Structure 1
Amino acid sequence: MIKEDQRIIPARLKEARLVRGLSINELASRVGLSKQAISQYELGENEPKPSTMMGIIRELDFPKSFFYKTYEEHIIGNTFFRASAAVTKKNKEIQYNKSKLAGYIYDYLQKYIEFPELNLPDLSSFDQTDWDDDSIELLSENVRQFWGLGENPINNIVNLMERNGIVVFSIDMESLKVDAFCQSRKGRPYIFLGNDKESAARRQFDAAHEIGHRLMHNHIHNQDILSREEFKIIEHQANRFASALLLPAEAFAKTVTSTKLIHFIELKKYWKVSIAAMLYRAQELGIIDQSRYTSLLKQMTIHKMRSKEPFDDVITVPKPILLNKGIKMLLQDNFKNEVQIINESGVPREFIEMLCTMDKGSLKLKEIEPTLRLIVNNQKDA
């Protein structure tokens, strides 16, 4: 319950505005206030009147409870974005603030539900500030052994991560320039996978790439201060790890019995990895030389496979399931209803549904239709 004299939390105003992708000027214009007024509210220098606050809440379309909640901050260190250099600061800002909502949902759910414990290998034997290709290959072997994968394909990397205590969210990136991102959190890592590219192979690689960042780059606390060259190095390292994890060197080499493009197309069904990634891995391991690699990429271009590969619409895209199950558990036997989950977490319905991989409209409170009872009068007319 929100007390009448309770004050808003200024940080919540800014978070909600940034999630909606609005500048201070844009929000001020929409609610009929000055830029200075909104700025003062966000800085805590002034308190909006109740009527003003209601106008802001309606415009931002967040539960009223959100603006009065004190949440525990769990994000530590850096947020690694798997994105092109052209991604805007605004888009990163939107995704970062969405990730805060994800944390609020998870914190709410874990009050009632016990999630799998974090299960990552001990990396103390590795020099975590100096990763070369050999040490990355060794790391991937270590992870595969620790998780009991042997040399088998990883058919569903999202399920694998969730079983080992990594929290995974599906998220609308609103930009084709962002594929995924990860964060270090107190207790466990969060990995966010974009919904915008419906490709199982792409999602497998994105997820493995983010695991690589979590394991190798925890010592980097601010990605933004890296030079372009330093950023390229850590991206190469995460890519190498993803390739090695998904396509273990010896096992993958044994399956490459031809260097024809049609063979790699067939291998995609087995390894659940993109054709382009397999070609790169084959060249990386010396299975094919640079000339053959270039020739195969040209063939992919001729057959228009670079943007959409064969089987992209056939192989099922792996999706997170644990948070979805958590919400359903709360709704079972009316332990919580939809309105309680939204108001108690403070997170808008649309974001709970998206981040917990629920169908749109799942958290709409179901209307209960009035029931009628047939009354039979057995008395005879007088």
Structure 2
Amino acid sequence: MPHSKPVRSMLEALRIAAGLTQLDLARATGTAQSEISKLESRGLDPDDPRLDGLAKALNRARAALLAPSIRPRLLHSFGRQVPLRSIRSHEASVMIVHAQVASLLSGVDGLPQADDKAYGLSDLSEVDPENLATLLRQNWGLFREPFIDGVALAETHGIICVRGDLQHLGVAALGSWPDGHRPLMIIDPETSPSAQRRAIAHEIGHRLLQREASGAAERAAQAFAEEFVLPASPIRAAMYVDPDGIPKQADYWGVPVIEFAKRLHDLRLLPRRRLERYVTDFADQPGSEAANSRPQTVRTAVKTRQSNGEALDRIAESAFVSPNRIS
């Protein structure tokens, strides 16, 4: 499994996001590459005379260079088909988004917290992924009900959701769980609602299982996600009552028919021959999918700050984002 060198500072994150090497940035600012390396390692001082030149070379505001460096904590393990350069670029982008979100939420009280109390679970070292999913469903009030709106559920429990392009990484959602800071869930809006829900559940599984990135950790997070999205017990009960009601149950759980049929097969409730029939019959008519809502926590925080008399332009400037992105 590929592992990238951690991004150390906002300067490094902004440089990587701009597609520049240290040498590129050194040449653009008339600075030695060794100095760029030192600045990326220790961070920038507000009085550093090189600040304006660096901001100009990176096409960023001074505020971006001086923003706190919240190091991403990605627990997802990517396959060898994802280049290290893509992973490192994503880590840089996540550090930037962490800083922007922290600025936008600054001074806003009453937002849900995502500390361990939000999960209501403790001493999870011996809990298998499926039972862990069942416990979290109970603690979050889902019990035997469908997990329909992944974005709303995550934000209700303190996970800040934002939209972003993840196509280059081959995932529908990706979480970052930095110690001492708000967790972040980036969701690709171009993926299907059911893929987003599975990926959100998968990332929450990583957070609870707390395993280092590896193939085994991915399998455990996947098992957690399958049980969290389509729990075995109520599905077994429903299929016992109506064994031919697969399209109806798929609609109830808000997933495509083929996805539901595959889950039944994994639970040994549907023979492979019948699964293949469903795959063939519903390939061109997957059925309806329940949509996830748009992320609201950041938008709500910005509106709260505006209602308290802050100008949108000033809020956006401090977070080095366009006002159009947060209005």
Q: Which TM-score band (shorter chain)?
A: 0.7 to 0.9
User: In the alignment, what sits opposite 1:376?
Assistant: none
Q: Percent identity of the aligned residues?
A: 19
User: In the alignment, what sits opposite 1:92?
Assistant: 87
1:185 aligns with 2:178: yes
User: In the alignment, what sits opposite 2:17?
Assistant: 19
Q: Evaluate the alpha carbon distance shift between residue 339 and residue 326 of structure 1 in structure 2; reply closer, same or farther with a 3 A threshold.
A: same
Please say if residues 198 and 317 of structure 1, whose CA atoms lie closer than 8 Å, have aligned partners that are also in contact.
Answer: no
User: In the alignment, what sits opposite 1:198?
Assistant: 191
User: In the alignment, what sits opposite 2:112?
Assistant: 116
Please say if residues 246 and 273 of structure 1, whose CA atoms lie closer than 8 Å, have aligned partners that are also in contact.
Answer: no
Q: Which whole-Å CA distance do the structure 2 matches of 1:321 and 1:49 have between them?
A: 37
CA shift, 1:208, in A, is 0.7
* AA in 2 matched with 1:249: A
Superposition pairs of residues 239-258 of structure 1, within 5 angstroms: 239-256=222-239, 257-258=242-243
CA shift, 1:239, in A, is 1.2
1:81 aligns with 2:76: yes
Q: Evaluate the alpha carbon distance shift between residue 318 and residue 46 of structure 1 in structure 2; reply closer, same or farther with a 3 A threshold.
A: closer
Q: Evaluate the alpha carbon distance shift between residue 310 and residue 110 of structure 1 in structure 2; reply closer, same or farther with a 3 A threshold.
A: same
User: In the alignment, what sits opposite 1:292?
Assistant: 274
Task: Determine helix, strand or coil for the equivalent of 1:58.
Answer: helix
Q: Give the alignment partner of residue 261 of structure 2, picking from 265, 279, 295.
A: 279
Q: Which whole-Å CA distance do the structure 1 matches of 2:246 and 2:24 have between them?
A: 50
1:61 aligns with 2:59: yes
User: In the alignment, what sits opposite 2:296?
Assistant: 321
* AA in 2 matched with 1:79: L
Which segments of 5 or more consecutive residues in structure 1 lack a partner in the other structure?
Answer: 1-9, 224-230, 354-359, 364-382
Please say if residues 83 and 179 of structure 1, whose CA atoms lie closer than 8 Å, have aligned partners that are also in contact.
Answer: no
Please say if residues 173 and 194 of structure 1, whose CA atoms lie closer than 8 Å, have aligned partners that are also in contact.
Answer: yes
Task: Determine helix, strand or coil for the equivalent of 2:304.
Answer: helix
CA shift, 1:37, in A, is 6.1
* AA in 2 matched with 1:57: A
Which structure's CA Rg is the greater one? 1
Please say if residues 20 and 94 of structure 1, whose CA atoms lie closer than 8 Å, have aligned partners that are also in contact.
Answer: no
Q: Which whole-Å CA distance do the structure 2 matches of 1:100 and 1:166 have between them?
A: 16
User: In the alignment, what sits opposite 1:378?
Assistant: none
Q: Which whole-Å CA distance do the structure 2 matches of 1:304 and 1:28 have between them?
A: 54
Q: Which whole-Å CA distance do the structure 2 matches of 1:176 and 1:361 have between them?
A: 23
Per-residue CA deviations over 1:242-293 (Å, capped at 9, x if unaligned) read 111111212122444356xxx6454433212344432332112110134433
Please say if residues 81 and 181 of structure 1, whose CA atoms lie closer than 8 Å, have aligned partners that are also in contact.
Answer: yes
* AA in 1 matched with 2:234: A
Q: Which whole-Å CA distance do the structure 1 matches of 2:295 and 2:277 have between them?
A: 37
Task: Determine helix, strand or coil for the equivalent of 1:185.
Answer: coil
Which segments of 5 or more consecutive residues in structure 2 lack a partner in the other structure?
Answer: 1-7
* AA in 2 matched with 1:317: N
* AA in 1 matched with 2:301: G
* AA in 1 matched with 2:155: E
Per-residue CA deviations over 1:325-378 (Å, capped at 9, x if unaligned) read 101211225x2223322343xx4315xx7xxxxxx4556xxxxxxxxxxxxxxx
TM-score norm. by structure 1 comes to 0.69
* AA in 1 matched with 2:201: A
* AA in 1 matched with 2:134: E
* AA in 2 matched with 1:233: A
User: In the alignment, what sits opposite 1:380?
Assistant: none
Q: Evaluate the alpha carbon distance shift between residue 72 and residue 37 of structure 1 in structure 2; reply closer, same or farther with a 3 A threshold.
A: closer
1:311 aligns with 2:288: yes
Task: Report how many aligned residue pairs link the two structures.
Answer: 313
User: In the alignment, what sits opposite 2:168?
Assistant: 175
Q: Evaluate the alpha carbon distance shift between residue 96 and residue 233 of structure 1 in structure 2; reply closer, same or farther with a 3 A threshold.
A: same
Please say if residues 172 and 196 of structure 1, whose CA atoms lie closer than 8 Å, have aligned partners that are also in contact.
Answer: yes
Please say if residues 154 and 160 of structure 2, whose CA atoms lie closer than 8 Å, have aligned partners that are also in contact.
Answer: yes
Tell me how large the CA RMSD over aligned residues is: 3.4
User: In the alignment, what sits opposite 1:151?
Assistant: 144
CA shift, 1:182, in A, is 2.0
Q: Give the alignment partner of residue 107 of structure 1, picking from 87, 102, 105.
A: 102
Please say if residues 11 and 43 of structure 2, whose CA atoms lie closer than 8 Å, have aligned partners that are also in contact.
Answer: no
Per-residue CA deviations over 1:52-90 (Å, capped at 9, x if unaligned) read 653432342221122234x26465xx4123654312222
TM-score norm. by structure 2 comes to 0.80
Q: Which whole-Å CA distance do the structure 2 matches of 1:81 and 1:96 have between them?
A: 12
